[in-house]
Amino acid sequence: MQLIMNFVVLPIYFLSGALFPLSGLPSVLSFITRIDPLSYGIDALRNLLIGTSEFTLIFSFAVLSVAALLFVALGSYSFSKIQL
């Protein structure tokens, strides 16, 4: 399970903008970073701490809220399908 999680978590982390700025990326990487919810969390935190950001703070919180609701709904649906 840890090996599988590394294949999921590490690309999300590396493409979130935590290690490098999101501006000036090639178009393919720019698209991938725009669908990564962690990018918006990192950007909102950067906006709150140092005042610079790629996206507006309200947009980042809106994207994070929608992603959270989507993942909670998906998890609830998956959990309801478990049979003992």
Q: What is the pLDDT of residues 29-82, one digit of tens each?
A: 889 999 999 999 999 999 999 998 888 999 999 999 999 999 999 999 999 888
Domain of residue 57 covers 2-80
Indicate if the pLDDT at residue 13 is higher than 80.
yes
CA dist list (Å): 7 to 1, 4, 51, 60, 65: 10, 5, 32, 25, 25
| pLDDT (0 to 100) of residue 19 | 87
Q: What is the pLDDT of residues 63-75, one digit of tens each?
A: 999 999 999 999 9
Q: How many domains does the chain have?
A: 1
Sole residue written with tokens 């993942």: 71
66: which 2 tokens?
């929608």
